[in-house]
Copies of this chain bind each other. A is one copy, B any other.
C-alpha cells in the first residue's frame, strides 16, 4: 500500500524534482488521458506523446521509415483536430477498427505538458474515470508516494481533473486498512469528489459544469463528456516509459 498521496492541482505547482522516487498519475480527463486509455484498450500498439505539432510530424515520419509502423497522427489544439492529422482528441475516434496494431503519435496542449513535468517520477501512469478501478488496484499494491497530477486547462485548475484525483484518493483510502497521509490539495479534491458523488449523476454533472466540460459542449463534443465519465469501462492502465518515450499497456 502507498504511504502518501499528493495532488498537484496544476503541473506548474510542482517542481520537476518533487516527483523523484514517486509514482505519478497524469490526469487530463477531458480528454487526453481518457483518449490514451481508450486507444490502447482498442489495441493501439503505443501512444507517442509530443509537445509540438511540428515534433509530432517528425516523430511520425521517423516511425514510418524506421519500423514501417502503421502510424496515425492524433491530438488537438484548442480542442479541435490539427490540420493534416488523422484523428482528433475524441476517445470515440479511437475504436479497434481504426487503431488496432497502430502507433498513435499524439499531441495535446495540457496532458503532454503534465507528462513532461512529471518526467523524473519513478513511474508515470495515465489515469481517467474509464480505467479508474484498474488504476486504483494497481496503485494499491505500490509503496511510497503517489502524485496525482491534474493537467488543468490552459493554466487553470479544472473540476474534471480534480474530481478524478479525488476519486483515486477516496478509493485508495477505502482500500487501505492503514491511514494514508494526504496533503491539503488531496483532502480538498477528495471532499469535492465525495460531495459530488453523493448526488445522482454526480460525476457526469460535475464534468459537464467544469471548464473542460463547458469547452467541449461549446465545440460540439458533448457526447465525449458522457463517454469519459463512464467508470470502469476499461481495465487497462497505460504507462509512459521515459526510456522509449512511448505510452503502452
Contact = CB atoms under 8 A, between A and B. Distances in A.
- Number of identical monomers bound together in the oligomeric complex: 2
Contacts of A185: 156-157
Interface residues of A, number: 25
Given A13-B10, A162-B184, A184-B159, A196 B191 contact: yes
Interface string A22-66: 000000000000000000000000000000000000000000000
Contact of A195 (B9, B12, B194): B194
A188 interface: yes
Contact of A157 (B9, B12, B192, B195): B9
Nearest to A15: B155
Contact of A187 (B9, B187, B209): B209
Contacts of A227: none
Nearest to A198: B195
A188 B189 contact: yes
